[in-house]
Structure 1
Amino acid sequence: MYNDFISDCTNCFGLCCVALPYGKSADFPINKDAGDPCRHLCSNNSCAIHNRLRVEGFRGCVSYECFGAGQKVSQLIFHNKDWREDVDHANEMFAVFPIVQQLHEMLYYLKQALALRETTSIKLSLQKIYEETVELTIKRPKEILEIDLAAHRSKVNALLTETSKMYRNDRNDAGEKQRTKKDVDFIGANLEGLTLRGKDFRGKLMISSSLRNSDLRRADWIGADLRDADLSGADLTDALFLTQSQLNSAIGDVHTKIPWFLEKPSHWLNKNNM
């Protein structure tokens, strides 16, 4: 169902390792400018420290997801021409990639919205904007660079917001809603063991929060920052708009329940690789 929106690094030219900048922080040990290849990027586009990214301080790489944009830009839009070989178009490729990445992220959310029985009344609108978004991702490079991304995102977001309301249907337990409704974010918050079913965590900062053993079913996670959030033993069954990259950035264990189309990160199962 979501195969088109899963990164396939074997069919990408390491675009995220070149096109995107990063700064020295808790997520990266060094600075890198946009367009400069990461020092760990191999000539075959693999990562020399892929199995040690968290240990080496590249936690940002572990939590990054291109939603399949890398292989589309590499194979379809630029016709399998590596940026190393097609120097004249390298910068154009690097500029196109993050735009297509954002469009693919929208498609990932729209795909989930379309699969929900609760969205029957807006299915046609969801399908229309989904098809429009697909069309944007297969335009020529120069046309992609001219896309008004903010305007398109606004249209998509309106439907995703409506989807969230329909799906969650105010399912919060009244007591827990009262305890959390005034919080702007939840950085370092102790939400352990709470019933937060249907909670709207949209865009919330959940960094280092404790959600151990909490009921998080049907909660909306779009745009939530789950870096180092503890999801051990939590129930995220049927979570809405949750991504693999969010799980990769969080902490969990074998008892954490997640949606069927996502995978438990290896560091959840191997605590020595934190």
Structure 2
Amino acid sequence: MPLHLSAHPDVELTADCSRCFALCCSALGFERSTDFAHDKPAGQACRNLAADFSCTIHARLRGEGYKGCTVFDCFGAGQHVAQQTFGGRSWTAHAEVRPAMFAAFPVVRQLHEVLWHLDDAARLAGSSGSVPPQHASSIAALVSETVSLTRLDPAGLDAVDLDALRARVGPALSAVSGAVRTAAGGRRIPRRLAPGADLLGADLAGQDLRGADLRGSYLIAADLRGADLRWVDLLGADLRDAHLHGADLSHALFLTPMQVAAASGDSRTRLPDRIDAPSSWNT
């Protein structure tokens, strides 16, 4: 479902490939791995890209060895760069914009990811009743600032200090997370379930994890079937191949479509309203 930034309805946070120029398939690079069947340097079009910017193997990406393509999400940055930053000029018809467009896309993509998380925090602040006003105000100011950065021209985007922005956004998100998780009143969380924890392949099936802070944790191939993950902070958590069958993530904090697409789940998996179940899941 299309998602717009709640405070700025004109800002789209859902990718619309029909209004992009396949920037994820051309501007970005990748290395041959279990996620990609071949090497592709940044700035070079993928060998599977058609002249009309469609993917010639889109219907069978995973079968052809391109799982990474099915997981990637630009959070709406592709159409923003294509249609707003460059006014609808494609890098094929207007070769002169190619270098600047390819440089702008990864910057805007990161800004849109920041906006995804800030929007989550803003929605939480507006609905939970547990977030202090000063934290809500801080989030609102950061939203406005980040939106203004996405509207810079190519030269301005090239000068954006993403690290400095994240250094201010991170604590703001943590403050909202702490307030919401405390109010959720979940059970006492084991000490091993902490930010950045190594939970590779961990057996957490059926566990009540409400209110846990698993920010940046390694949950690769973890068994989370039937687990209660409501109000769990999953910012930056690695959910590759995690088993989410029947798990409740309906109120998970800072969860992204990329994390969900990297995991496996089913029709019983409950996701936040703004995230659709991936087509790769067996439902």
TM-score, normalization: structure 1?
Answer: 0.93
- Map 1:195-234; keep pairs closer than 5 Å: 195-234=208-247
Q: CA deviation at 1:123?
A: 1.6
> Any idea what the Cα deviations from partners look like across 1:13-37, whole Å, max 9, x if unmatched?
0000001110111111111100010
Tell me whether 1:173 sits opposite 2:173 in the alignment: no
Q: Which runs of 5+ in 1 are unaligned?
A: none
Structure 2 residue 119 is matched with structure 1 residue 106:
no
Kept in 2: contact 1:113–1:119 (CA 8 A): no
Give 1:88's aligned residue.
96
Q: Are 1:36 and 2:44 matched, yes or no?
A: yes
Residue 120 of structure 1 and its aligned partner are, at CA, apart by: 4.4
Q: C-alpha displacement at 1:173, in angstroms? A: 2.1
- Deviation at residue 172 of structure 1 after TM alignment: 4.3
Matches within 5 A, 1:1-274: 2-3=3-4, 4-116=12-124, 117=128, 118-121=130-133, 122-169=135-182, 171-174=185-188, 176-178=189-191, 180-181=193-194, 184-269=197-282
CA RMSD across the alignment: 1.6
Q: Distance in 2 between matches of 1:232 and 1:119?
A: 31
Any unmatched runs of 5+ in structure 2?
A: 5-11
- The answer (yes or no) to whether the contact 1:198–1:219 under 8 Å persists in 2 is yes
C-alpha distance in structure 1 between counterparts of 2:279 and 2:156, whole Å:
39
Q: Number of paired residues? A: 269
Q: Which moved more, 1:50-59 or 1:101-110?
A: 50-59
Percent identity over paired residues: 42
Q: Which has the larger displacement, 135-144 or 196-205?
A: 196-205
Q: What do residues 132-170 of structure 1 show as CA deviations (whole Å, max 9, x unaligned)?
A: 100000011001101111101111111111111111117
Instruction: Give the TM-score taking structure 2 as reference length.
Output: 0.91
SS in 2 for 1:165: helix
Q: Normalized per residue, which structure has more helix?
A: 1
Letter of the structure 1 residue corresponding to residue 59 of structure 2: N
* Mapped partners of 1:182, 1:218: distance in 2: 14
* Separation (CA, whole Å) in 1 of partners of 2:180 and 2:92: 46
Tell me the secondary structure at the aligned position of residue 115 of structure 1.
helix
What amino acid does structure 1 have at the position aligned with 2:246? G
Q: Is the 8 A contact 1:18 1:35 kept in 2?
A: yes
- Contact 1:196 1:216 survives alignment (8 Å): yes
Conservation of the 8 A alpha-carbon contact between 2:193 and 2:212:
no
Structure 1 range deviating more: 176-185 or 141-150 = 176-185
